[in-house]
Structure 1
Amino acid sequence: MFTGIVEEVGVVKQIQKGSKSAVLTIQAKAVLEGTKIGDSIAVNGVCLTVVSLGNGCFSADVMHETINRSSLARLICGSRVNLERAMAADGRFGGHLVAGHVDGVGKIVEVRQDDTAIWYTVQAEPSILRYIVEKGSIAIDGISLTVAQVFSDRFSISAIPHTVRMTVLKDRREGDEVNLENDMIGKYVEKLLRVDKDEANQSRITRDFLTQYGY
């Protein structure tokens, strides 16, 4: 579990590409402190498992499903990436619940300055937008951000200069792709409230049943 509070920006040093997968080697410093093989690190919001450590770098496997669901396939040597270690049980909860399981990729369609703030407008698929609400939380490339506006095919966030400066938001331009993870609470609530037709047919709790017992 992560919080969306980026600890540092690392640099991709090597990419070993397979037919449908890859191994990323990333140079870092802060996230290597106390990290062991098998630990989880979020890379641009994608939870990856550390498979090797050494020379100020860590390596992680990127599976076929992860490549299909995220923007990691577009990384090149020299790319800067947001990094966050999994939250410690006694850590301070600074952002929101972030699983590191990316729901999909969005595209930045506008970047504009608003006094000290910088607005980013991101175009996204309906399957992602359905869970985005104004003043709710969204993880963009692993950064916990507050949704400022929601439209039919896009949404906007307003970032403070510190967040932009300390993350890869500083590098993002119009046309760039970003990893998106919805607030997981909305997805779980929808799942729990959804009743499959087969389940409804098997249930003895019907409108007539409720009326009979005074509901």
Structure 2
Amino acid sequence: MFTGIIEATAIIQKIEKRAENIQFTLTCPFTEELKIDQSLAHNGCCLTVVDISGQNYGVTAIAETLEKTNLGEWKVGSEINLERCLKFDGRLDGHIVQGHVDKNGIVKSIEDQDGSFFITIQYDETDDFTTVPQGSITVNGISLTVAASGTGEFSVAIIPYTWEFTNMKTLAPGNKVNLEFDIIGKYVTKLMKKNAVLPLQRL
């Protein structure tokens, strides 16, 4: 379980193809605090630490993960958003994030608004995955508020701090991003769809 508040960024040091999987070797400011089998969100995708060596650690992405996320586009030197799992003695500063990427989005535009940035992202909207203004959305692991919502796209406003301390500053139009939609919204949508097909009950 995560909150979408990015702790730091990691830099990819090595990428190794292993059958249908990919082993990523990364370094981050808190590598020495990590443990084998620990869950760590990378651009919003929950991966398990499988190896630690000095300042580097390793994670493995299986074929299904590579298909549903932007991990297959990572390169040596790429900057990746990181978050360790939620501690229940802390504050929930973002929103409830599972680290399970629902689908990819494509950056449509990035507008510099004199210090803040307004980013519009397109995605394949379905009944299961939609956005609402002022709702929550996770983009590359970052908990964000939807500033505007349209059919098949939404926009978020990025404050200078988030721009500087995450990999948002590396994005460009056409880039693929990982999206996780609000879990509460997904449950509500599913329940409404189920109720809509229930037969009418006679009193």
* Normalised TM-score (structure 2): 0.93
Q: How big is the alpha-carbon RMSD for the aligned residues of Structure 1 and Structure 2?
A: 1.9
Q: Which runs of 5+ in 2 are unaligned?
A: none
CA contact (8 A) 2:128 2:190 kept: no
Instruction: Determine whether 1:134 maps to 2:133.
Output: yes
CA contact (8 A) 1:103 1:181 kept: yes
For each residue in 1:60-100, what CA deviation from the matched residue of structure 2 results, as whole angstroms up to 9, or x when unmatched? 11011100000000001111100110011212211111101
Alignment correspondent of 1:160: 159
| Greater alpha carbon shift after TM alignment, 159-168 vs 82-91 | 82-91
Structure whose residues are more often helix by fraction: 1
3-state SS of paired residue (1:208):
coil
3-state SS of paired residue (1:188):
helix
3-state SS of paired residue (1:126):
coil
Alignment correspondent of 1:207: 201
| Greater alpha carbon shift after TM alignment, 48-57 vs 158-167 | 48-57
Q: Take 1:38 and 1:92, find their aligned partners in 2: how far apart are those partners?
A: 24
3-state SS of paired residue (1:207):
coil
Alignment correspondent of 1:212: none
Letter in 1 for 2:151: S
Alignment correspondent of 1:213: none
Q: Take 2:198 and 2:175, find their aligned partners in 1: how far apart are those partners?
A: 44
Q: Take 2:127 and 2:111, find their aligned partners in 1: how far apart are those partners?
A: 23
Letter in 2 for 1:152: T
For residue 194 of structure 1, report the CA deviation from its aligned partner.
Answer: 3.5
| 1:19-168 matches, cutoff 5 A | 19-30=19-30, 32-127=31-126, 130-168=129-167
Alignment correspondent of 1:3: 3
Classify 1:146/1:196 alpha carbon distance in 2 versus 1 (closer, same or farther; 3 Å): closer
Q: Take 1:2 and 1:13, find their aligned partners in 2: how far apart are those partners?
A: 25
Q: Which runs of 5+ in 1 are unaligned?
A: 210-215
Q: Take 1:181 and 1:175, find their aligned partners in 2: how far apart are those partners?
A: 19
Classify 1:196/1:149 alpha carbon distance in 2 versus 1 (closer, same or farther; 3 Å): closer
For each residue in 1:157-187, what CA deviation from the matched residue of structure 2 results, as whole angstroms up to 9, or x when unmatched? 0100100000000100111111000011111
For residue 35 of structure 1, report the CA deviation from its aligned partner.
Answer: 2.1
For each residue in 1:97-154, what CA deviation from the matched residue of structure 2 results, as whole angstroms up to 9, or x when unmatched? 1101001111101011112210111011113884211000111000011100011221
Structure of larger gyration radius: 1
Classify 1:42/1:165 alpha carbon distance in 2 versus 1 (closer, same or farther; 3 Å): same
Alignment size in residue pairs: 203
Letter in 1 for 2:124: E
Letter in 2 for 1:34: E
Alignment correspondent of 1:18: 18
Q: Take 1:129 and 1:169, find their aligned partners in 2: how far apart are those partners?
A: 26
* Normalised TM-score (structure 1): 0.88
3-state SS of paired residue (1:131):
coil
Q: Take 2:13 and 2:25, find their aligned partners in 1: how far apart are those partners?
A: 6
